[in-house]
Every structure is written in C-alpha cells, then in structure tokens.
Amino acid sequence: MDQLTSVLEAVAHPSRRAILDRLSKGPARVTEIAEPFDMSLNAVSKHLKILEAAGLVTREVQGREHYIEFRGEPLRLVSTWVDYYERFWTQHLERFEQHFKDKRKRKP
C-alpha cells in the first residue's frame, strides 16, 4: 500500500480524525487519548496503530507509558491530492508525457 492510500484510509475514520484532532494540541499518553471516547483501550490502540503505520503519529516509550505525538507532514499528500487543478493538470501532464515517451519508443 502506498503512503497516500495509508494516509487516506487512516483519516477516513471519524474516530481517528478525532484522535488526530486531540493530538494536534500536543502529545498525550494512550490513556489520556482514550478518556473522552466511548471506546476500550484496545480499540484506541488499534486506531493508533493504523495512524502510526500511515506516519501520522509517532510513539515514544518512557518506562511503562507510551506517549503519542502527531506528525503533520503526510497530510501534505492529501492536501495535494484534493487540490482540483493540481490534480487535473498533473494527470493530464502525465498522460501527455507518456504519449511522447511511447511515440519515441516506436521510432526506429
């Protein structure tokens, strides 16, 4: 799975978006993240693993505590993806370039 797909899947779930919203205010322990949600610690951990795999959060282990921190950089991929005209022209330019690559290959 490419990173864009991982990021899109990670932010597609409302609970994971709420977790990211909480973490955007600063790092937190897993128990603190779970507190406002009507979810088991186990369910929160599963969501965190998906966010971690997408590169949207990092985990720092200090003794028995796991501190989770938000990382915003991968969201750039989504930002680019939803920009209509950037997406529009990127797709067209890729096809345009490919058309000439194929044409050059066909030349004897």
Partner 1 sequence: MSKKITLPKIKTFDLTLTRTIPASPEEVFDGWLDPENPGTPWHGSQKLVLEPKVDSLWHFTHVFDDLVLPHYGRFTTLERGKKIQYTWMSRHTLGLESLVTVNLQKKGDDTLLTLTHANIPDDEYGRAHETGWKGLLEAFEARILQTD
Site for partner 1 in 65-104 (CB under 8 A): 70-73, 75-76, 78-79, 82-86, 88-90, 92-101, 103-104
Contacts of 49 (CB under 8 A, 6+ apart): none
Contact 47, 59 (CB under 8 A): no
How many residues touch partner 1 (CB under 8 A)?
33
Positions in 50-69 near partner 1 (CB under 8 A): none
User: Least distance in Å: CB of 42 to partner 1?
Assistant: 25
Nearer to partner 1, 65 or 88 (CB): 88
If the CB atoms of residues 40 and 97 are measured against partner 1, the closer one turns out to be 97
CB count within 10 Å of CB 23 equals: 21
Q: By C-beta, is 40 or 79 nearer to partner 1?
A: 79
Q: What does the CA dihedral 61, 53, 68, 44 come to, rounded to 10 degrees? A: -110
- Measured between alpha carbons, how far is 48 from 30 in angstroms, rounded to an integer? 9
